[in-house]
Amino acid sequence: MAEAVVRCLRDGRLDGEHAPALAVEGSLQCCPLAAGAMLHIAAAFASQVAAGKAQARGLVVVAFDRSPLVYLEFMRRRSLDTNALDRCVRILDCYSDPLGWKQKIQNQQHQGNSAKQFSTNKENITVYRSVKDVTKLMSSVTELGGGFEEGKKYFSVAVDSISSMLRHASVPSISGLLTNLRSHEQVSSIFWMIHSDLHEPKVPRAFECLSTMVACVEPALVDPVCGESPGNLSVLEQNYSKAKFIVRLKRRNGRVKHLYEDLYIEGNDIKFDSAPSVSIEVNQSLVPKAQFNLELSEKERSDRANVVLPFEHQGNGEPIRIYDGRRSLPEAQRDLSLTAPALVDEIKAPKSGTAKGEIHYFRDSDDEQPDSDEDPDDDLDI
């Protein structure tokens, strides 16, 4: 469930390690669902923080794609009251006026007046006007984060979305920002959203490198003939109402855990469901070419020596018992005549009497390893 992801974020960082980071990747085909997933994770995390269960004391949301009111509204619907919101959530508003144009226009219009900042009356929303300056963004985020509680307390950061940030800043500067945030001593966890098909393939992969968890929101149905049948709205409809939520968790033991879920919209809310069908094609590509282990352990060697082979003289003075696989041993002896005289290597004098239908078998030498490259012609003295 998305629970696992929220739990990881909630638990935060261990001493001496960087903060855990979640990358939510969406695509254009399931764009609203990816946005919904981001809102859900932010809201779930905020409620954990408000309940005091998280390592962080607050959440700083860097909002590029949506107005801050959308976040607050969504969290309110998830039963977070205003007090808790004021206490635990701060939003850095990079949506209303990212490049500072509105303020410039306002300043020009009201040249004589004391130009007040066009700030809202909400306490927990701060407008940020210079998105091209990543260093200043970093300091604003840490400033907001430090303002949650007195003393050195942890806070978490959510960036929504990196794709919008990439319009203004370069990949190295944003990666540097995320790395600095992750290694910042007060940051408990960080999560961001990126739309993978809006960029070159190496860009979302670069951000995946920086993360410890990757959650991909993929369309539920992939349209095989994209765009060729524009009248086919059912696929689009399906893709707008549900999607697959695939999570890759990088664990401390050095392995990667895959989780699969379905995500769908119900009314105004996002819901997660455990997936009925697990995609196995992921694993097929990972299976490398494996060889058979042809060595025998000691136990296996002694077991092999003890195996009673059919058609063989056990050498303990008793009459030959030939087991042909169908009947029990004593009866088979009487049915010797019925067995086919097929496998005859060399004649060995039998102990029991019957003249026809005898099978004589020489066991191969035990010393010879199977598939050894001895040339049988080596014995010839020419």
In whole angstroms, give the CA distance from residue 152 to residue 18: 17
* Residues in binding contact with another protein, number by CB under 8 A: 37
Measured from the CB of residue 177, what is the shortest distance to another protein in angstroms?
Answer: 9
DSSP letter assigned to residue 365:
P
Which of residues 77 and 258 has its CB atom nearest to another protein in the complex? 258
Burial code (b: 16+ CB inside 10 Å, e: under 16) for 39-49 equals bbbbbbbbbbb
Which of residues 102 and 199 has its CB atom nearest to another protein in the complex? 199
307 token code pair: 């195996």
Q: Measured on CA atoms in the order 226, 235, 38, 96, is the torsion positive or negative?
A: positive
The three-class DSSP label of residue 166 is coil
Measured from the CB of residue 5, what is the shortest distance to another protein in angstroms?
Answer: 15
DSSP of 235-272: HHHHHHHEEEEEEEEE-TTS-EEEEEEEEEEETTEEEE
Per CB under 8 A, 172 contacts another protein: yes
Which of residues 178 and 193 has its CB atom nearest to another protein in the complex? 178
Per CB under 8 A, 225 contacts another protein: no
CA distances from 71 to 91, 158, 213 (A): 9, 11, 23
Which of residues 140 and 211 has its CB atom nearest to another protein in the complex? 211
Residues 239-298, interacting with another protein (CB under 8 A): 248, 250-251, 253-258, 280, 282-283, 286-293
| List 79, 139, 170, 337, residue binding another protein (CB under 8 A) | 170
Which of residues 40 and 182 has its CB atom nearest to another protein in the complex? 182
In whole angstroms, give the CA distance from residue 209 to residue 17: 16
| List 82, 119, 179, 369, residue binding another protein (CB under 8 A) | 179
Per-residue interface string for the shown chain with another protein, residues 201-220, x marking contact by CB under 8 A: xx--xxxxxx----------
Measured from the CB of residue 210, what is the shortest distance to another protein in angstroms?
Answer: 7
Which of residues 231 and 254 has its CB atom nearest to another protein in the complex? 254
| List 67, 175, 241, 333, residue binding another protein (CB under 8 A) | 175
Measured from the CB of residue 362, what is the shortest distance to another protein in angstroms?
Answer: 26
Measured from the CB of residue 170, what is the shortest distance to another protein in angstroms?
Answer: 7
DSSP of 188-216: EEEEEEEEGGGS-THHHHHHHHT-SEEEE
Which of residues 33 and 62 has its CB atom nearest to another protein in the complex? 62
Closest CA to 215 of 27, 36, 39, 23: 23
Measured from the CB of residue 35, what is the shortest distance to another protein in angstroms?
Answer: 24
Q: Please count the other Cβ atoms lying within 10 Å of the Cβ belonging to residue 15.
A: 4
DSSP of 19-62: PPEEEEEE-GGGHHHHHHHHHHHHHHHHHHHHTT-SS-S-EEEE
Asked if 99 and 130 count as a contact pair (C-beta separation under 8 A), the reply is: yes
98 token code pair: 């990212």
Per-residue interface string for the shown chain with another protein, residues 61-100, x marking contact by CB under 8 A: ----------------------------------------
How long, in residues, is the chain? 382
> What residue type is assigned to position 219 of the chain?
P
Per-residue interface string for the shown chain with another protein, residues 292-331, x marking contact by CB under 8 A: xx--------------------------------------
In the block, which residue shows the tokens 């039963």?
79
Measured from the CB of residue 335, what is the shortest distance to another protein in angstroms?
Answer: 27
Measured from the CB of residue 295, what is the shortest distance to another protein in angstroms?
Answer: 9
* Contacting positions for another protein (CB under 8 A): 170-173, 175-176, 178-179, 200-202, 205-210, 248, 250-251, 253-258, 280, 282-283, 286-293
